[in-house]
Structure 1
Amino acid sequence: MLQELTIKNLAIIESLSLSFEEGMTVLTGETGAGKSIIIDALGLLVGGRGSSHFIRHGEDKLSLEGLFILADDNVVARKTLIDNGIDATDNMVVLERTVFKSGKNICRINGKLATTVLLRDVGSKLIDIHSQHEHQELMHDEFHLTLLDRYSGEAFQKPLQAYEKTFALYKKAQKEFRDFTKGEQELAQRLDMLQFQNQEIEAAHLQVGEEETLLAEKNILANFEKLNDNLNLAYNALQAESGGLSATSEAMRQIEAAKNVSHDFDTLHETIASSYYQLEDAAMQIRQALDQIEFQPEQLNQIENRLAEMNQLKRKYGKKVEDIMAYHVEIQDEIQKLANSEAHVGELSKNVEKLAHQVAEEASRLTALRKKAAKQLEAQIKTELGQLYMEKAIFEVHFSAKEEFSETGGDEVVFYMSTNPGEPAKPMTKIASGGELSRMMLALKTIFSKHQGITSIIFDEVDTGVSGRVAQAIAEKIYAVSVGSQVLCITHLPQVAAMADHHYYITKQVENERTSTNVKILKEDEKSLEISRMIAGTEVTELAKQHAEEMLSQASKAKSAK
């Protein structure tokens, strides 16, 4: 739902901020006051083609900002945002667009810079602008299948999801088959290369943890001289005539004598005695280490050669020994398959054939469900058109088979229609604009507004060319679309204005020789006066006022009955 709209320096609008609510909102006013400019602003905000010609005279740029509340069931818009790294966890979407005189555009979605393509993609999933000249999703053949699937309801979604999973497996199986059978010579070359790699890795007899052990041994051997010196010096420091053991022994002897005089020195004697025995043990361990270590240049050379061999394998097959060993297991499996390629090709072919049959079966099930839903849709559209006094109009859902299956199945779906008796139905996208097409589109909107996931629908003078009972029927249809959602409607029909929940009156004024647009939210008594003006024209008569009151009363009853 569109909640806030701010427009600055667009055509004759200098600065305008509007708040919108759920339900049906109409915008009325004299011709040229700026009603359509507000709709143009929304079109620009959701990615419409921008131009510096839109900028108010004398200004360097125009700016637009809109706050949308994301409907819970608008999963398509939410997915588009998530896929493009845009946060919408609070269900609020802020679109911003600035157009400069130079022609440069800056677009943002929730503060993140975006292209106009992404702005258009997101915007088309938030609002649907319908005018005599622009019919968005309903006027694009490629979207008709999606609309029919949404109309088909929850019962259709499970088989569709099941088909999508099967189709994904089928495409994967096809790729595996193609990759494996792309050429016998390539397969033979691949097998030779893998066998060489397998032999090279096997010959190395790699073991987990071996490299770490070798590096530790290499470090000892490479630093033999330094280590030997360290141990000798340490041993001499303890065992020399004036070394640590001798001095500690003397200290222990002296404290023992003191202990015989006073027991206050018992603990100190124990501490020194313990230190002495620990140092004596340490000296023994140093002596053993000195006896054990020896310079072994051949062993050092062997270790370095082994590490070099490992490094060479790592450069080819993995960063770590564990990676090389995992790769070894992988290529052994592929060697087995390649060595038995004929049998494996047969298995792959059978799998592709099996999945192709399954895809065809599930696609056929989808077609049957779609055709059933299409019959219901055709009947429902006929009822809607009858209520709009187009009893003889034709609406048909035409099916054709795709050349090959896709993610959506095997169906091409196009909506056909005929608005004149005796004329054959044609693709809806080929029908010329006019009052009859407006009614046809309104009938479709009445039904699809519940299935598109879009809760903001804009009608820009779609009631052109109608009057009388047809005008009343259109008014009631537009109101029906607004129930549970949001409709913004520019209208010149008093019947449509009378059905509105909210009425905005657009005027223009000249100040300091500049024209600007103003918007006023009408109160109940002001609504009656505006509808009187729409009925009577320039001069509002008492009869027109009475007619307006009666029209509002009838509208209230009609709304209560919905």
Structure 2
Amino acid sequence: MLQELSIRNFAIIEELHVSLEKGLTVLTGETGAGKSIIIDAVHLLVGGRGSSEFVRHGEKKAEIEGMFQVENLAHPCVQKAQEFGIDMEEETIIIRREISSNGKSICRINGKLVTIAILREIGSALVDIHGQHEHQELMDASQHLRLLDQFGGAEILAAKENYTEIYKRYEQTVRVISQLSENEQQMAHRLDLIQFQLTEIQKAELQLHEDYELAEEKRKLGNFEKLYESVQNASSALQGEGRGLDWIGLAMTQLETAAEIDETYKAAYEAVSESFYALEDAVRHTNSELDSLEFDPNRLNVIETRLNEINQLKRKYGESIEAIIEYGTKIEEEIDTLTNRETHIEKLNQELAAHEKDLLLEGKQLSHLRQRAAKKLTEAIHRELKQLYMDKTVFDIHFETSAGKTPHHTKAFKKDGLDEVEFYISTNPGEPIKPLSKVASGGELSRIMLAMKTIFSKHQGITSIIFDEVDTGVSGRVAQAIGEKIYRVAVHSQVLCISHLPQVAAMADTHLYISKKMTDGRTRTFVEPLEIEDKVKEIGRMISGVEMTDLTKQHAKELLDLAASLKTG
């Protein structure tokens, strides 16, 4: 849910901070007070298109910040955030967006800079904004299959996963067959190229870590004089008359005599003795190495040539010797495949036929489950529409399946199954059933949308749903039914609703009154949570307009009492 919303220098809003609660929050107020501006700010917060026109006149930038609380780390928005490397703390997502007066937009999620595309992808899992002319996914036919699958639940999800696993193998096989079926000239050119590459790699006879060993040997040869001089000086400092070992040997002899007289010096004697013999070993080893040190300019040339050859191969085939060897193995397999192309194509076609058979079986099972879910969804939507006084409306889910298409057709199977799904509806008896996206009546569209939102809000996992004056064009008992329906959606999701209907306002768990005032020659927007007495006044104003009579006040109280009774029921 959206817990906190802060807005600064956005349109006519100078500064606004709103704390939001669970359930249904209704925003009311006079026309032009800024209700829709608040919704516009939320829309921008979750990835809507920004513009410098949103920046309050005379200010450098507009700032919008929202804190969302998600129920658990399994929520889709959390998974998406983790995909983009965004840290999650205590199941909280903080989104901040700034729009400067020059049109530049900066977006942050939990402090990390993100693109508009990433913000929009995460925001779509947090907030669903529905306005009178903004149908979003319910009006988007390409989303209907996904919505049906969500409604179908775990059973469809499991069947879909089985289908998808086979589809990936099927798609890979189709791709390989397509590559092998290219024209003979392309295949011949490809074969010549990779045979040349393989010959070059094999001829080099590369050994793992060879480049590192050669580079180390090159470093030693390049510093030969310094190395020889250092080793020789070390040996001279330790060995010879009056040098290091002589003095340490003398100290060892003297300490040995002292230890025979007083055991206190035994430890010192042993330490010096061990050092003496260790240094003797070091001198012998150093002298042996010194005798073997020999500068070979030809060897340095050989190393340079070999390293150059290896670097040339790295530029062509990989960043390391290991990568070059792996590439050689890969093209060796490809050469075998191209050389025996017909045999491989025949084998792949057999594999493809097996995949198609499995896909058909899994696809039909998935389609069967979808058909069954579609029947339940149709019945549920009819029940919802009946409660909204659209009992004559016919809703149907149209299926188009690709199961009958010929094998080896790249479009015979799709990644989501065999089905294409679209919602159809007819709102009046005798009228032909049409795609839902073709429904144009505002009042009817509001009720159809609410019916489906009531059902899908249980399955979508959306954190917050916003209705921006979706009750336009309705009144009377339909208005009451819409108020009850919006409240039912709020049982499963936090709902923010801008409304001019007193029936909807009466159902609110939280009622926010939006007003504007002139201060220092500038218009400012204010938000005020209403208590019970103020609710009565505001609902009365919505019923009668400016004048508040005792009868209006009584009617407002009756609406609130009815709402409380309906909620309890």
TM > 0.5 between the two?
yes
Query: If you compute each CA radius of gyration, which structure gives the higher value, 1 or 2?
Result: 1
The 3 A distance-change label for structure 1 pair 271 and 500 is closer
- 1:79 match: 79
- 1:520 match: 528
**Maintained 8 Å contact 2:73/2:79:** no
Distance in 1 (alpha carbons) for counterparts of 2:15 and 2:249:
99
The 3 A distance-change label for structure 1 pair 352 and 306 is farther
Moved more, 141-150 or 281-290: 281-290
Confirm or deny that 1:29 pairs with 2:29.
Answer: yes
| Alpha-carbon distance, 1:250 to partner | 11
**Maintained 8 Å contact 2:63/2:98:** yes
SS at match of 2:381: helix
Normalised TM-score (structure 1): 0.83
**Maintained 8 Å contact 2:245/2:280:** no
- 1:501 match: 509
**Maintained 8 Å contact 1:458/1:488:** yes
The within-5 A match list for 1:73-112 is 75-112=75-112
- 2:65 match: 65
The within-5 A match list for 1:389-538 is 389-401=389-401, 403-538=411-546
The within-5 A match list for 1:64-213 is 64-72=64-72, 75-196=75-196, 198=198
Moved more, 46-55 or 146-155: 46-55
Distance in 1 (alpha carbons) for counterparts of 2:220 and 2:471:
93
Distance in 2 (alpha carbons) for counterparts of 1:214 and 1:103:
56
What letter is aligned with 1:523? Answer: E
Q: Over residues 277-309 of structure 1, what are the superposed CA-to-partner deviations in whole Å (9 max), with x where a residue is unaligned? A: 99998888888778x859796xx7478547734
| Alpha-carbon distance, 1:551 to partner | 2.3
What letter is aligned with 2:560? Answer: L
The 3 A distance-change label for structure 1 pair 343 and 532 is same
SS at match of 2:119: helix
Normalised TM-score (structure 2): 0.82
Q: Over residues 502-525 of structure 1, what are the superposed CA-to-partner deviations in whole Å (9 max), with x where a residue is unaligned? A: 111223333444433322211123
Give the unaligned 5+ runs of structure 2. Answer: 403-410
Distance in 2 (alpha carbons) for counterparts of 1:457 and 1:323:
51
| Alpha-carbon distance, 1:255 to partner | 7.4
Confirm or deny that 1:315 pairs with 2:301.
Answer: no
- 2:407 match: none
| Alpha-carbon distance, 1:205 to partner | 5.3
Distance in 2 (alpha carbons) for counterparts of 1:88 and 1:535:
46
RMSD, aligned CA:
4.2
The 3 A distance-change label for structure 1 pair 313 and 229 is closer
What letter is aligned with 1:132? Answer: Q
Distance in 2 (alpha carbons) for counterparts of 1:49 and 1:278:
77
SS at match of 2:384: helix
**Maintained 8 Å contact 1:133/1:433:** no
Q: Over residues 44-76 of structure 1, what are the superposed CA-to-partner deviations in whole Å (9 max), with x where a residue is unaligned? A: 333334444444444444332222223438743
Confirm or deny that 1:351 pairs with 2:348.
Answer: no
The 3 A distance-change label for structure 1 pair 378 and 322 is closer
- 2:405 match: none
**Maintained 8 Å contact 1:71/1:453:** no
Distance in 2 (alpha carbons) for counterparts of 1:24 and 1:506:
16
Identical amino acids, percent of aligned pairs: 48
Distance in 2 (alpha carbons) for counterparts of 1:442 and 1:250:
100
Moved more, 547-556 or 113-122: 113-122
The 3 A distance-change label for structure 1 pair 274 and 166 is closer
Give the unaligned 5+ runs of structure 1. Answer: none
SS at match of 1:146: helix
Q: Over residues 242-284 of structure 1, what are the superposed CA-to-partner deviations in whole Å (9 max), with x where a residue is unaligned? A: 67699789969x979x979x96799899999999999998888
| Alpha-carbon distance, 1:142 to partner | 1.5
SS at match of 1:408: coil
| Alpha-carbon distance, 1:390 to partner | 0.7
User: What is the number of equivalent residue pairs in this alignment?
Assistant: 555
Distance in 2 (alpha carbons) for counterparts of 1:57 and 1:210:
68
SS at match of 1:182: coil
Distance in 2 (alpha carbons) for counterparts of 1:161 and 1:31:
50
| Alpha-carbon distance, 1:21 to partner | 0.4
Q: Over residues 425-455 of structure 1, what are the superposed CA-to-partner deviations in whole Å (9 max), with x where a residue is unaligned? A: 2111111132122111111111111122213
| Alpha-carbon distance, 1:26 to partner | 1.4
| Alpha-carbon distance, 1:346 to partner | 2.2
Distance in 1 (alpha carbons) for counterparts of 2:249 and 2:515:
112
Distance in 2 (alpha carbons) for counterparts of 1:183 and 1:519:
70
What letter is aligned with 2:544? Answer: A
- 1:547 match: 555
Q: Over residues 61-108 of structure 1, what are the superposed CA-to-partner deviations in whole Å (9 max), with x where a residue is unaligned? A: 433222222343874323333333333343322333333443333333
The 3 A distance-change label for structure 1 pair 102 and 303 is closer
Q: Over residues 430-482 of structure 1, what are the superposed CA-to-partner deviations in whole Å (9 max), with x where a residue is unaligned? A: 11132122111111111111122213111222222322222221111111111
- 1:46 match: 46
**Maintained 8 Å contact 2:537/2:553:** yes
The 3 A distance-change label for structure 1 pair 139 and 239 is closer
Q: Over residues 309-354 of structure 1, what are the superposed CA-to-partner deviations in whole Å (9 max), with x where a residue is unaligned? A: 4652453256665555555544444444344333223222322332
Distance in 2 (alpha carbons) for counterparts of 1:443 and 1:542:
36
The 3 A distance-change label for structure 1 pair 551 and 342 is same
SS at match of 1:559: helix
Distance in 2 (alpha carbons) for counterparts of 1:171 and 1:441:
37
Distance in 1 (alpha carbons) for counterparts of 2:96 and 2:215:
60
SS at match of 1:47: coil
| Alpha-carbon distance, 1:398 to partner | 1.5
- 2:567 match: 559
Q: Over residues 119-147 of structure 1, what are the superposed CA-to-partner deviations in whole Å (9 max), with x where a residue is unaligned? A: 33333322222222222221212111211
